[in-house]
Amino acid sequence: MKRLFLAIDIPEDIKDDLLDLRINALDVNWTAWENYHLTLKFLGDELSARDEKDIIYKLEKLSFEEMTISIQSVGFFGSERNPRVLYAGIEKSDLLLDLQRGIIKSLENQNFMLEKTKYIPHITLGRPKKLSYEKVAQFLQLFSTFRSREFKVDKYYLIESSLTRHGPHYQKVHEFELDSY
C-alpha cells in the first residue's frame, strides 16, 4: 500500500529563504529543506498500485494554466492551547485554487475518500513539540512581513511518502505539466 499526495515543488532559493524562518529557541520539529512543498491534495495512505494508475490516468486528462505564486505570510494550525503546525502561507491565487478544485473534481469518483476540508495553501515549516501560544505569537510577529519572490509553477507532482524514524521521505512518482498560454 502507498501513501500518496499531489504537490507543487518549491524552488531551491525559496527553500533557502524558508530556512530563515526557523528559530532555534522554539521546541519545533522543523521540516527538512528537501521536504518543503505546497500540497495540493493528500490522497491517502493505503492506496494500491491500481489506485496510483487511476489517479495518473484521470489527472493526465486535465488542462490547467501555469501560474506565478508567492509566499506572503506565516501562520499556524491548531488552537492557541495546542498549536500543531507552523506554516508559510501562499498569496491568494485563483489559478492555484482552480487547479486544486479541478483535481478534487477529477478524483471524486475514485474508490477512496477525499476529505472535505477547506484548502489553505501553505508550506509546512515545522510541527511544535510543546509550544506555548506566547511563543507562537512571537513567531508570528517576528515574521509578519515575510514575503518571497514570485515563482513560476508549470508542473505539479504525484508524490509517494514513506514514513521513517528519521522523518518522511518523499519520492516523485509522476509529473503533470501545466499549460502555458
Task: Walk along the chain (181 residues) and give the pLDDT tens digit of each residue.
Answer: 899 999 999 999 999 999 999 988 788 999 999 999 999 999 988 899 999 999 999 999 999 999 999 999 999 999 988 999 999 999 999 999 999 999 999 998 765 556 667 899 999 999 998 888 899 999 999 999 999 999 999 999 999 999 888 889 999 999 999 998 6
DSSP 10-75: --HHHHHHHHTT--TTS-EEEPPGGG-EEEEEEEEEEE-HHHHHHHHHHHHT---B-EEE-EEEEE
Residues forming beta bridges with residue 14, ordered by sequence position: none
Please list the residues that pair with 79 across neighbouring strands.
Answer: none
Query: What's the grid cell of residue 141?
Result: 510577529
pLDDT reported for residue 166 = 83
Task: For the chain, list the domains and their CATH numbers.
Answer: 2-177 (3.90.1140.10)
pTM attached to this predicted model: 0.92
In eight-state DSSP terms, residue 98 is: H
